[in-house]
Amino acid sequence: MEFFKVLAMNQLGTTKCRNTEFRWGERTYVMGIINLSPDSFSGDGITDLEAAMTQARRFVSQGADILDIGGESTRPGSSPISTDDEIKRVVAVLERLSSEVPVPLSIDTYKSEVARRALEAGATMINDQWGLKRDQRLAELAAEWDVPLILMSNQRDKGGYDAGIQRDTAYYEDLIAEVTSSLHQSLELALKLSVPRENIIIDPGIGFGKTWRQELEIIRRLEELRELGRPILIGPSRKSFIGMVLDLPTDERLEGTAAAIAIGIAKGADMVRVHDVQQMARVCRVSDAIMRWS
């Protein structure tokens, strides 16, 4: 096991973010979700500054390594909001968090102007749910500010996908090949725009334009994304594929999320984006003990 741990560290290296070093291969890192949109699929949207601060402090005390702050809902079928409204939702929270919590802050947006204002307010990572398909200037910002950039594979613009409806029909000849190709294109574009390779993290986009069976397949075949040579983030938390398997509403998907994360770690995940930090940090710790400790 030590051989594989050293191999992963040599391949992926270290990503610096604020005062934190993500030493890939040593353990799984936990990203806590701070959702500042009232239109949340999981029902965890926060619209009050003090409530956001309370949740952030709790997440840090429970083991979050980084917090991901988003102002626009990514729920399938949700309506986009204006850049100004998104900025209003995130900037005040980021300004407070950057001075009051010790962990790095990520801005979850696909709009470069939102990202710029977030970086000025204290964010130290950009999480682009469209993998530079919507706004290439996000890569330029990541390079300019020397911050890590998460590139996600998003298939919601693919013909045949009916947003908000989970179907059994596959729209891909080879799902993983398409996700890998999408991430490779985003990765190459980011590199072309001067983002250092060590600052790039990839995300297969669970819940973004795939059927629920395809989301299971992504986790089952996650190790195939290792060919891209970058750390892998997964976000299965409370997602609809868990509801389809268990026939449970969003607020009863804790155990299903834990199973997805544990298997995801076994298949190569380096960071997990979660709503339930305390429980998933414990899942990560035991999974790491099994998979990473010699």
Quick: pLDDT tens for 30-49.
999 999 987 554 556 687 89
* 56 pLDDT higher than 90: yes
Residue 88 appears among annotated catalytic residues: no
pLDDT tens for residues 162-209? Answer: 444 444 455 667 889 999 999 999 999 999 999 999 999 999 999 888
Q: Say how far apart CA 58 and CA 67 lie, in whole Å.
A: 11
pLDDT tens for residues 95-130? Answer: 999 999 999 999 999 999 999 999 999 999 999 999
Q: Say how far apart CA 227 and CA 231 lie, in whole Å.
A: 11
Residue 239 appears among annotated catalytic residues: yes
pLDDT at 98: 96
**Tokens in use for 281?**
């940090």
27, 230, 238, 239: which is the annotated catalytic residue?
Answer: 239
32 burial (CB, 10 Å; 0-12 / 13-18 / 19+) is buried
- Total domains in the chain come to 1
Q: pLDDT tier at 4 (50, 70, 90 boundaries)?
A: very low
> Which DSSP category does 19 fall into?
T
Question: Domain of 202: which CATH number?
Answer: 3.20.20.20
53 burial (CB, 10 Å; 0-12 / 13-18 / 19+) is middle
Q: Report the mean per-residue pLDDT for the chain.
A: 89
258 close to 219: Cβ distance less than 8 angstroms: no
Helix segments in 27-174, DSSP class H: 49-62, 83-100, 112-121, 137-145
* 76 pLDDT higher than 80: no
pLDDT at 77: 60
89, 238, 267, 273: which is the annotated catalytic residue?
Answer: 273
Q: What residues make up the domain containing 112?
A: 2-291
- Residue 106, beta-bridge partner list: 68, 125
Q: pLDDT tier at 148 (50, 70, 90 boundaries)?
A: very high
* 256 pLDDT higher than 80: yes
233 close to 272: Cβ distance less than 8 angstroms: yes
